Amino acid sequence: MRDLNLLIGLAMGLNLVALGSSRLPSIIRATALQGVLLGIMPLLLEHDFGWQVVAVAVATAIGKGVVIPGLLQRAMRAAHIEREVEPFIGFVPSLLLGAFGTIAALAVARSLPLLPEHAKSLLVPGALASMLTGFVLLIGRVKAISQVCGYLIFENGIYLFGLLLIGSTPLLVEAGVLLDLTVGIFVIGIIVDRIQRAFDSLDTRKLTVLRE
């Protein structure tokens, strides 16, 4: 349990890194690292794991840690952007929001009616904090790539929640989720490319001209 909490704590720290950095490569790297950490977690949770758990762990680590970040980096290079220049929510306010969110997640998790074996783990607050971080990135960032990272972090939060149920969820569902995610990122990658071509920029504010 302690090892797991350590990993979750690290993931929560990576949330803050993603919130606080303006350079796109470091956000992508933080997201990738978080994905790898998440991939390791099932191995720590299950004491007598079979080949299926190993397969899922490896697939998660590779998918979230290598494939998706690789796609994002390609998109970033193709679009020639490196930095988030003028976010809706500034980096310091984002950090403050993230920190506040993490504290709030810890407080809320305490008041939730959890099973006794989950009460001590950081899984629930970690999940809540990641989802909140994802939301802050989605709302506060202008460039499509940082929003995709926000979406990934948000998804990681859901994955953490899913770990609560790892005993009762078939692994097939986990695999399905992972597949969904990968396809989603593919689609977003294509859309990013289209946005870039249509608007000569990845600024999602320009999408407002498409309304009605």
Partner 1 sequence: MIAGPLLTLSFSALVLAALAGRRWPRTWLALTVAGSGVALAAALLVLFGTTDWEWRGTVAFGGELPHLRLDGLSAIFLALVGVLGGAGAVYAHEYWSDASHPTSAPRGRAWWSVLVLSMMLVLTIANGLHFLLAWESFAIAAFFLITLDSGARAVRSAGWLYLAASHAGTLALFAFFALLAERTGSWDLGPMRAQAGLQPLFWLAMLGFGVKAGLFPLHVWLPSAHANAPTHVSAIMSGAAIKMGVYGLVRFSGWLPVPVSAAWVLVIVGSLSALLGIAFAFAQGDLKRLLAYCSVENVGIILVGVGGALLAVADGDSPWGRLVLAGALFHVWNHGLFKGLLFFGAGSVLHATGTREMSRLGGLWRRLPWTAASFAIGCLAVAGLPPLNGFVSEWLVYLGLFDAVTSHGATAWAAIFAALMLGSAGALALASFVKAGSMVFLGAPRGRAAAQAHEAGRAMRGAMLLLAALCVGLGLAPTLVWRALARGVAAWHPAWTVAPVPGALQAIGGTQLALAMLLPAVGWFAWRKMHGRTARRALTWDCGFAAPTARMQYSSASFAGIASGWFRWILRPRLTLRRPRGLMPTRAFRLERIPETMLDLVIVPIGGLIMQTASGARRLQHGSLQAYILYVVAGLVALGAMVLGAGIR
Residues of the shown chain interacting with partner 1 in the complex, contacts defined by CB under 8 A: 88, 108, 111-113, 135, 138-142, 147, 204-205, 207-212
Q: How far is the CB of 77 from partner 1 (least distance, A)?
A: 23
Q: How far is the CB of 117 from partner 1 (least distance, A)?
A: 20
Beta carbon nearer to partner 1, 31 or 147? 147
Give the DSSP letter string of 100-130.
Answer: HHHHHHHHHHHHS---HHHHSSSHHHHHHHH
Beta carbon nearer to partner 1, 5 or 204? 204
Beta carbon nearer to partner 1, 131 or 178? 131
Give the residue among 150, 147, 167, 178 at the shortest CA–CA distance from 67.
Answer: 178
Q: How far is the CB of 68 from partner 1 (least distance, A)?
A: 20
Beta carbon nearer to partner 1, 201 or 204? 204
Beta carbon nearer to partner 1, 47 or 111? 111
Helix 68-79 × helix 171-199 angle, to 10°: 0
Give the residue among 116, 150, 148 at the shortest CA–CA distance from 133.
Answer: 150
CB 23 within 8 A of CB 5: no
Q: How far is the CB of 104 from partner 1 (least distance, A)?
A: 10
Q: How far is the CB of 103 from partner 1 (least distance, A)?
A: 16
Tokens of 184: 């989603």
Give the span between the Cα atoms of 191 and 14, in whole angstroms.
Answer: 27
List the Cα angle 158/103/91 in 5-degree steps. Answer: 85
Radius of gyration of the chain (CA): 17
